[in-house]
Amino acid sequence: MLSHAFCAGRALRVTFPSPSSRILLFDASPGVGAPRRFCSRAATALKNSKDLPSIVEVDYHDLKQLNPRALEQLREAFVGNKAYGAVAVINIPGYGDKLTKAFRAGIDFALSDSEGRKRAAAVNNTYPGWSGTPGEETHPLQSSMLFNAKQEIPGGKPNPYFGINNFPSKEYRDTWVNLVTPMHDAALDVLRGCDTIIEEDLARKGLKWSAEGRSLYQLGLQGPALASRFICYDSGFTREDTMLQRKDEPNQVLESRPTSPDVLMVPQKSAGHSSDGLASMRTHSTPVKSAGHAADGLASMRTHSTPVKSAGHACDGLASMRTHSTPVKSAGHSGDGLASMRTHSTPVKSAGHSTEGVAALRGHSPSSVSSSQTVRAHATQTMSTTSGSSEPMFFDPSIDQPVQVETEAAPKEDAGEYWLPWHIDSNFVTVLHKEMYADEKTTEFVPEPEGAGLLIMNADGDVTKLRTRDDAVILQMGAFAQIYAGGYVNAARHAVVSPRPPGVARFNFCNFWYVPWETACTAPAGTEHAAVSTGWNAMMDESYLNITQKQGFAAFREFMTAPEARVQFADSVQFKELAELFPLPGKRLNLASNSSEIVVDVLTDVRCPFSFVSQLNLDAALKNLGLDQNVTIRYHPVFLNPNVPKEGENLDDYLLREYGYTKEYAHSESYPLRVMGLEAGVELNPSRRVVNTFDAFVLIEAASEAGRQHEVVKALSQRYFEGAEDISDVAVLCAAAEDAGLSGQDAKGWISDPARRARVLAEFQTVSSRIGEVPHFLVRERISGNGVEVGGKKSVEEWESALESVLEKSSVIGKTIPGPYGQDVRLSECVPYSPISMALSAQHGFEPGSWPFDASDFSRNDESPDDYMYTEPRLVNHLDDTSLARLTEAYRSVFSMVPQGFSVLDMCSSWNSHYPQELLEGARVAVHGLNQRELWANGQATERHVQDVNADAKLPWEDNSFDFVTMALSIQYMTDPRAIFSEMHRVLKPGGMVVIAHSHRVFIDKAVKAFAQETYDGEGHTHTICRYFQHGPQGGWEKLSTADVSPRHGDPMWLVTAVKA
């Protein structure tokens, strides 16, 4: 479930664009202390549910016997459009006492036992243990205690990938294990009964279920993880949802899935199986995204920024919902009546001057521009301020005068009405209870607040409230089960409504079942459409199909462990789109390793006065905060009017002809733009012309190659806004280039270069299609990629606030790991909250007692000798430049811990070792690999050795020869890793360090099965590499560490390091 978060007593709403990708948070509450107005639709649904039957109840004893009555009740619960997809198991012997005792222990622990919560602390909220801060938690998962029940029940075992359990005490553990064991058994009985009814119903149609190898019961029995989460929802934690409004919207297609097995089980040829000639040996249903690395022959798995489509869990996962349309509220700017400038083709409503109420200003619509049509006024939550006007103020592109823009009025929103919005759990099944409530101060149980409760919806849109015994065990089918059964059983659509009862917290204990990790969410052949819900209340789509259980869980974990899951770190959809459009640059070597680097992308027209003034204020703010030497500013064209004729036009003539503004008024001391400029310390020259700035941006683009873009823009701005010079004139442009320290003669050639002009035009078309006003700023911290969007003219104080927000959001980046010879290494670009970075700490010291692999794990699709494949050199990079720069920076951090002249062995090397060149003076660099021509092309090497370690692992160097051993992007090909790691240990000096770098790209036919089965499994592969170290020479390795140094946008870069004992 991706949902809303709650901060400082204010409800926040969220959109759900896809099951696992983007989140956008906006303040939609009436404010702290405002009266609660319960939404009529939810309240009406709750009231009307009294007239509908609740979910089906099945007696525990009938269920154990699977007698006809129990089977018919399960059929009613799960089959057909009237089925709610849930069943309550009642009369479990002794269960009520166990339930009360467990909830009592959980509530006391959550609200009163701070020391116990410290002992049981989880490394993050998707790993076993306690996470959250009751009363002030902003994370969608709220505060909770999580453990893997499969580790505790009889016959269970730990699952390192999920994480190892961490309880505050043995008594606490025993209390919950006593409850979860009968929960588990009852759920298996329900699944066994569902198998029976599916088998019986399909047999009558001549179709098969178990004979096709399908069984809900077996999936549940064999699953490696049963995420058992006791959740504490704060009293003020609420979320918005428009699901019930959609039912009443006109033109809704109320489509339901067909439920006849005749329709569901029509056989069709399935695609993507390992025998159909596909090039890659991935799990047959795993989608593979192509990528553009030239001539490297890689199987091109998903790139790092590609979201894996999955969805979530009622209290433990991603939201399995349709896109919710959350309106964005427009806002004015800083109370001065000024705002941002719309692009030239944006329709502008006629309006009077802000002080005189006269003139009829119209927008321009040049026929040659088709990129920006209608746009909305942009406003970001962080930076939006309220103007004195009731409507946002904008300026005509050419006249520099304020006009009012017609915008859609944002509706007044109540605080969120749900503890849990409408959704379908994406996991296999969910087992839960009726929620309990407790006083947040006294911890005493209290009755269910009026207007609260679990709502469940069927495919027809009927909504009922959960009404069953307090000690019932409730099983809800999830999306995985519905799809796996071809749509024959229904997943439960559900939500929890909240009246925001003061001081009353909601508690529930839910078990989220996962099937074996590599199981793909595939429907029986021919049932793909029927397997997925459709219509206004679908709450899932085809993106749920054909991903493995591990992929779905990994996407959930990756998002939920990231800071952006919390309201204070949330980014807008547009921020993410622009961030992907403008990749961050590499590190500037002249900066200290602990310095924050700010990157500002300015989307504007160089003749926009608001952009000029805002940039002056930005420069002042950067200097005030000591960041002026740590900033990179880049410019991207959004032309106010790309069709301004070459000769331009006198601004005075234009104002008089079009709007009746006299020269005296435009040149007066009270003219708003003059006042704005003087406040920023500059006098705007009213005699400037309306000019075409395309050539100016060609010069700006060229200046970026020399690192002088900001200087060129400053020179152009001074000449235009202060000197009133014609910056469309080539001579003026060449003079500005010289002002910025560039050659005027070179500038003349740059401006006329057809290829450069084509690039500027292409960038304008790309950028203007996303931005409807200028200026627009994207401000990010380079390492983390975190930042804010800023629109319009901003004061120095506002810029300082924005920059401080960026620094705060980036403060979570960096990790210290054990380094060589007893020193600690600071990896400044490490993402510490990544599942890869937390892979070891989540184990709480757990190691497998024996080697966890067998020979088949190291088999390959292509078992031919490796040197056959490397007959010809591959002088290409296998990852993008940004990711390789992260690897170089990690090496820089490690190598700088020892004096110059160190020795390093680069195993399985190639033409580039990616070492920091400035640290290699006097160093011994031995490179080892399969292709002699590649190794000789390696300019960092001082010695080279050709060897196939899969054929012969014995290395030619003496014992204790090297300070470092590195292996980049090759670990996935090692067929005898223990032998190879033993040799690495032998040649490494005591106290020396190994760095293993891995990513998601692989020559799939040559990768061992342990890696090839799931190419994007960064966390799982990290565990695999850790096992190589843990089962190496006896006592040979220590200080094992994992780190994710991936860039925000680009290929992943994951590290596993160790020190020789």
- Cα dihedral 270/276/280/285 (nearest 10): 10
Is the pLDDT score of 786 beyond 60? yes
- Band the pLDDT of 336: cuts 50, 70, 90: very low
Residue 390 carries which side chain, given as an amino acid letter? S
Q: Strand 429-432 vs strand 504-514: parallel, antiparallel, or unpaired?
A: antiparallel
For 936-963, the pLDDT digits (tens) are 999 999 999 999 999 999 999 999 999 9
- Band the pLDDT of 326: cuts 50, 70, 90: very low
Q: So what's the pLDDT on residue 46?
A: 66
Average pLDDT, the chain: 81
Residue 819's alpha-carbon distances to 961, 968, 1039, in angstroms, are 18, 18, 8
Handedness of CA 985, 987, 993, 999 (dihedral sign): negative
Dig out the tokens for 84 from the structure: 């709610």
List 773's β-bridge partners, or say none: 342
Query: What average pLDDT does the segment 131-150 reach?
Result: 91
Is the pLDDT score of 1057 beyond 80? yes
CA–CA distance, 1036 with 177 (Å, rounded to integer): 38
CA–CA distance, 770 with 637 (Å, rounded to integer): 12
Query: What average pLDDT does the segment 200-210 reach?
Result: 90
Secondary element (H or E) of residue 631: strand 631-637
- Band the pLDDT of 661: cuts 50, 70, 90: confident
- The rounded percent of the chain whose pLDDT value lies above 90 is 63
Select from 809, 815, 807 the least CA-distant residue to 833.
Answer: 815
Q: How many CB atoms lie within 10 A of CB 868?
A: 9
Residue 642 carries which side chain, given as an amino acid letter? P
DSSP output for 64-97: HHT-HHHHHHHHHHHSSTT--SEEEEE--TTHHH
Q: So what's the pLDDT on residue 586?
A: 79
Q: So what's the pLDDT on residue 568?
A: 61
Dig out the tokens for 869 from the structure: 């494949």
| Exposed/middle/buried for residue 346 (C-beta within 10 Å: 0-12, 13-18, 19+) | buried
Q: So what's the pLDDT on residue 907?
A: 98
CA–CA distance, 939 with 596 (Å, rounded to integer): 32
Q: So what's the pLDDT on residue 589?
A: 58
Question: Residue 487 region, left (φ>0) first, then alpha (ψ -120 to 50), else beta?
Answer: left
- The rounded percent of the chain whose pLDDT value lies above 70 is 79
Query: What average pLDDT does the segment 968-992 reach?
Result: 97
For 893-937, the pLDDT digits (tens) are 999 999 999 999 999 999 999 999 999 999 999 999 999 999 999
Report yes or no: 608 and 691 within 8 Å, Cβ to Cβ. Answer: no
CA–CA distance, 452 with 439 (Å, rounded to integer): 15
Handedness of CA 433, 434, 437, 443 (dihedral sign): negative
Select from 496, 506, 459, 424 the least CA-distant residue to 42.
Answer: 496
For 828-887, the pLDDT digits (tens) are 999 999 999 999 999 999 999 899 999 999 999 999 999 888 888 989 999 999 999 999
